[in-house]
């Protein structure tokens, strides 16, 4: 019912809404036509398209939704960025896929980061902090509330914003 209301508000009631079978990965899937849009959701956590008349959708709870649109080519993407996908660089991989598939240029891309669990309450274990530290030279900027047991809090918003900036988005 919420999807129906959403599409009614957008005045797109007959447009297919493409979703992914989200698996907390860095897998990016390209939607190539309206028929692809009507198929069963495929595993992955980012969708890209340059097909008029379809909607891309991802679902989140604590994870971060990220939308990307290319003002020049009209390509677009929807990304589900949890800590695993963020660690694996899913937003950067999505930008790369848009460059490969649609000839997108980072300077033409606009992004919107949606609500996600905030750093003040997103506690992770030492192994997650260590994995981020091993992957990103700026990892310490993402951490807060470090505890003696090795746990700490991580800022998904800052991590994904940094990855998008590093990929060339303004």
Per-residue pLDDT of the chain (170 residues; tens, 9 = 90+): 998 999 999 999 889 999 999 999 999 999 988 777 777 888 999 999 999 999 999 999 999 999 999 999 999 999 999 999 999 999 999 999 999 999 999 999 999 999 999 999 999 999 999 999 999 999 999 999 999 999 999 999 999 999 999 999 98
The tokens describing 69, both together, are 């649109």
Distance CA 138, CA 95 (A): 20
Residues 44 and 25 sit within 8 Å (Cβ to Cβ): yes
Distance CA 64, CA 74 (A): 23
pLDDT score of 133: 96
pLDDT score of 36: 72
- Say which DSSP state 7 is in: H
pLDDT score of 84: 97
Buried b (16+ CB within 10 A) or exposed e, 115-138: ebbebeebebeeebbebbeeebee
H/E stretch holding 169 reads none
pLDDT score of 38: 73
Residues 34 and 54 sit within 8 Å (Cβ to Cβ): yes
Distance CA 29, CA 140 (A): 31
- Strand 143-144 with 152-154, pairing: antiparallel
Q: Taking the complete model, does pTM exceed 0.85, yes or no?
A: yes
pLDDT score of 153: 97
């Amino acid at each position: 019912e919420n999807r129906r209301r959403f599409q009614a508000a957008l005045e797109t009631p007959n447009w297919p809404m493409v979703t992914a079978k989200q698996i907390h990965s860095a897998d990016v899937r390209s939607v190539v036509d309206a028929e692809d849009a009507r198929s069963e959701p495929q595993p992955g956590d980012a969708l890209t398209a340059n097909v008029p008349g379809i909607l891309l959708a991802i679902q989140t709870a604590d994870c971060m939704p990220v939308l990307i649109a290319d003002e020049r080519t009209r390509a677009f993407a929807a990304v589900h960025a949890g800590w695993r996908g963020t660690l694996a660089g899913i937003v950067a991989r999505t930008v790369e896929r848009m460059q490969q598939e649609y000839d997108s240029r980072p300077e033409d891309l606009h992004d919107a980061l949606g609500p996600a669990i905030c750093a003040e309450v997103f506690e992770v274990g030492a192994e997650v902090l260590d994995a981020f530290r091993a992957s990103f030279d700026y990892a310490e900027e993402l951490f807060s509330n470090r505890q003696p047991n090795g746990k700490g809090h991580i800022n998904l918003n800052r991590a994904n914003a940094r990855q998008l900036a590093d990929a060339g988005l303004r």
